[in-house]
Structure 1
Amino acid sequence: MSDHPATMASDDSGEDLAQSTSDASLRRTEARSIEIEEQIAKDPSGFRVMTGDRPTGNLHIGHYFGSLANRVRIQNAGVETFILIADYQVITDRDGTGPIHDRVLSMMADYLAIGLDPARTTIYAHSAVPALNQLLLPFLSVVTDAELRRNPTVKAELEATGDRPMSGLLLTYPVHQAADILFCKANLVPVGKDQLPHLEQTRVVARRFDERYGRVDLTRPVFPQAEALLSKASTVLGLDGTKMSKSKGNVIEIGMDADTTAKLIKKAVTDSDRHITYDPTNRPEVSNLLMLASLCTGGDPVAIAEEIGDGGGGTLKKVVTDAVNEFFAPIRARRVELAADPGYLMDVLRTGNAHANEVGNATLDEVRQAMNMVY
């Protein structure tokens, strides 16, 4: 896929970000995502995907159905994939790193257990790729303090911290995310509609770098204009009917055993109506459980509800428990094997780090050339 022509960015990136979520822009993005999927099916070699996670806790089934399964699909379609374990970003809104080493190994076990293949997917850590982080300096030179404070990502993250004082790392979070994408010259990022402003910030940084500092040669910008691959993944709510979050204690972790899963689902929120129906608007908790059973079995949630009928919440929870435990059984079995061999997990991560460093160093060399800083 060819890069978009480099253009002069607006002096007010807030306008760029607003435009990225307008109705017309969203329709264009949706149409383009369909085209990209078709192009991937024909020839995946023109794409490089970048995505990742912060290691702030164990991954859960909401992560699996929301993004992880899609990553495996993209990998298996033949798209070169980079997956970042964003350990530096853990401290954007925390006073320390916590048990980060254990969490990184847990994340590695989850990644490999679900089917991510280190022979086809590069898994690496923020702190292990100096070139990625060095891009922050030139990137920060092309954005303003006011633009960062208006950024939807910064606002959302600040609200999530309970209005604690904003750290410099949190303020520059969108620029760090831009470096995550651009260091490996990813041209495709799987995102939800709510993440489009973040991707537009990355595009703004790439355009401004080209306009301000130039190119290695006259034929192309240093950085591509990354495009969105809008996620079609289903959202799974927590067991209390709210957003699934470990801090709320409403999650089922990928690595949980079958008995623990059963106990948690038994406590899930339903309602007093014994007749089970799929009605997301009026019965969100019941419908969420039905959707979870649907995702695990491949069945239609309406049909599952009809089969349960007047069986009530107890029957519904048994159906969901059986579906979840059967679906995740092979993943969990593989995960147990992987977790028992931390040396192997570290070897995979170090191999990914080494490849990410090769890619990042090559990009940084081009940046230095464009900035006339080769000494």
Structure 2
Amino acid sequence: MTDTADTAIPTSSYDTALQRSDAIWAKIQDDPAGLRMLTGDRPTGALHIGHYFGSLRNRVRLQEAGVESWVLVADYQVITDREVLGDIRGSVRELLTDYLAVGIDPERATIFTHSAVPALNQLMLPFLSLVTQPELERNPTVKAELAAAGKSAMGGLLLTYPVHQAADILFCHGNLVPVGKDQLPHIEQTRVIARRFNERYAGGEQIFAEPDALLSEAPTILGLDGAAKMSKSLGNTVMLRMSEDETAKKIKKAKTDADRQITYDPEGRPEVANLLTIASQCTGRSPEDIAEEIGDKGAGTLKVMTAEVLNEHLAPIRARRAELEKDPGALFEILRAGNARANEVAEQTLARVREVMGMIY
């Protein structure tokens, strides 16, 4: 891929990313050796079914397929667009609980935090020298984050967020990052940084490989109020930790429409289609098949069915979660072990970076 000052993703670049992604999926099925996945979340509290169906379940699938997994609890990114921190430690605990409950295995995945890995964050300094202010300002994901935060002025940490993410990926030599299409600009910026570092500081030697995006086929789960996505701040979610009764009440209040005939029409009837998608993800049946079964029985029947199959699907996860909550100390022991592993790798990477930059004294 040619180097470009603009990291937005034109159609041709998306097609290229899609082709690479398809090739990676084929490699995973054939032989996942050599693949190292980096993924993660900001610790802003417990996770919901949008996270689960959109990414968590796919991470477990990749883990089970034999892909080496690194999972970042991005605690420093909480302060990119927030002035009030809240209970970060509590949010990290909730995130760890959800990770383990859905099946992320600390014996096969390295789970770590930004704040506990100094060498990772130090990589931002040489990486920042490789990008320009206009490149960062043009990043569409950064613009979207600024708009979502409701701010007009961009803070320095938010502006440099793509560089921080590049450090996240490259410190452990991650070469596979599961993302949706809207996050491709971040991966492209990471590829640019890796390429420029190799050229400028390493004389063309490949210190960092350019990572690939693994484009997810996972569905987008809308908010129960019809919003574009579930958001804890909007209260339109079904949290993984909710009880069966709480889940049923949430689904019962979900926005639908007045047409009693249930059909799967994501464009014309997005709220109805969203419930059908949730039911489909829980049962393995197609949303069209579920819609045909319900027929003219209306949204009430759809909601009851969706709540029932969702509760059934989440039951083992919730049981595991309840067990994990009994021993929060064990959760932080897992995190400390992951942090130790991440520090070891980050320090090795930083030492190599300093070596090729002539900064060993």
Q: Same fold by TM-score, threshold 0.5 exceeded?
A: yes
Alpha-carbon distance in 1 for matches of 2:158, 2:14: 27
Q: Given the alignment of the two structures, is residue 231 of structure 1 paired with residue 219 of structure 2, yes or no?
A: no
Query: Which residue of 2 is the match for residue 323 of structure 1?
Result: 309
* Residue 22 of structure 1, CA deviation: 2.2
CA shift for structure 1 position 23? 2.0
Residue identity opposite 1:364 in structure 2: L
Kindly indicate whether residue 266 of structure 2 is the aligned counterpart of residue 266 of structure 1.
no
| 1:26 maps to 2:14 | yes
Distance 1:184 1:178 in 2: 11
Residue 206 (structure 2) pairs with residue 221 (structure 1): yes
Question: Distance between the aligned counterparts of 1:182 and 1:305, measured in 2?
Answer: 45
Report whether the alignment pairs 1:244 with 2:259: no
* Matched residue SS, 1:122: strand
In structure 1, distance between residues paired with 2:244 and 2:213:
36
RMSD between aligned alpha carbons?
1.3
User: Which residue of the partner structure matches residue 269 of structure 2?
Assistant: 283
Gaps of at least 5 residues in structure 2 are none
Give 2:101's aligned residue.
113
Superposition deviation, residue 164 in structure 1 = 4.0
Distance 2:273 2:148 in 1: 27
Evaluate the alpha carbon distance shift between residue 22 and residue 164 of structure 1 in structure 2; reply closer, same or farther with a 3 A threshold.
Answer: closer
**Displacement after TM superposition at 1:176 (Å):** 0.5
CA distance in 1, matches of 2:11, 2:157: 32
Q: Which residue, out of 293, 302, 308, partners 2:288?
A: 302
> Whole-Å Cα distance in 1 between the matches of residues 314 and 242 of structure 2?
9
For structure 1, which runs of at least 5 residues remain unmatched after alignment?
none
Identity, % of aligned positions? 62
Superposition pairs of residues 130-279 of structure 1, within 5 angstroms: 130-214=118-202, 220-242=205-227, 243-279=229-265
Q: C-alpha deviations, 1:217-268, integer Å up to 9, x for none? A: x7x4111100111111111111112121111110001111111001111101
User: 1:153-197 CA deviation, whole Å, 9 max, x = no partner?
Assistant: 221111112124321111111110110101101011111111111
The Cα offsets for residues 97-150 of structure 1, whole Å up to 9 and x where unpaired, read as 211111100000000000000010110000000010000111111112222112
Letter in 2 for 1:94: R
Deviations 1:203-226 (A, max 9, x none): 1111111122115xx7x4111100
Query: Is the CA contact 2:130–2:193 (under 8 Å) kept in the aligned structure 1?
Result: yes
**1:153 & 1:302 partners in 2: Cα distance?**
33
Number of corresponding residues? 360
Q: 2:352 aligns with which of 342, 366, 372?
A: 366
Equivalent position SS for 2:33: helix
TM-score by length of 2: 0.97
The 2-side partners of 1:155 and 1:132 are apart by: 25
C-alpha distance after superposition, 1:65-122 (max 9, x if no partner):
1010010011111011101000000000111321111110000000000000001011
SS at match of 1:247: helix
What is the letter of the counterpart of residue 163 of structure 1?
K
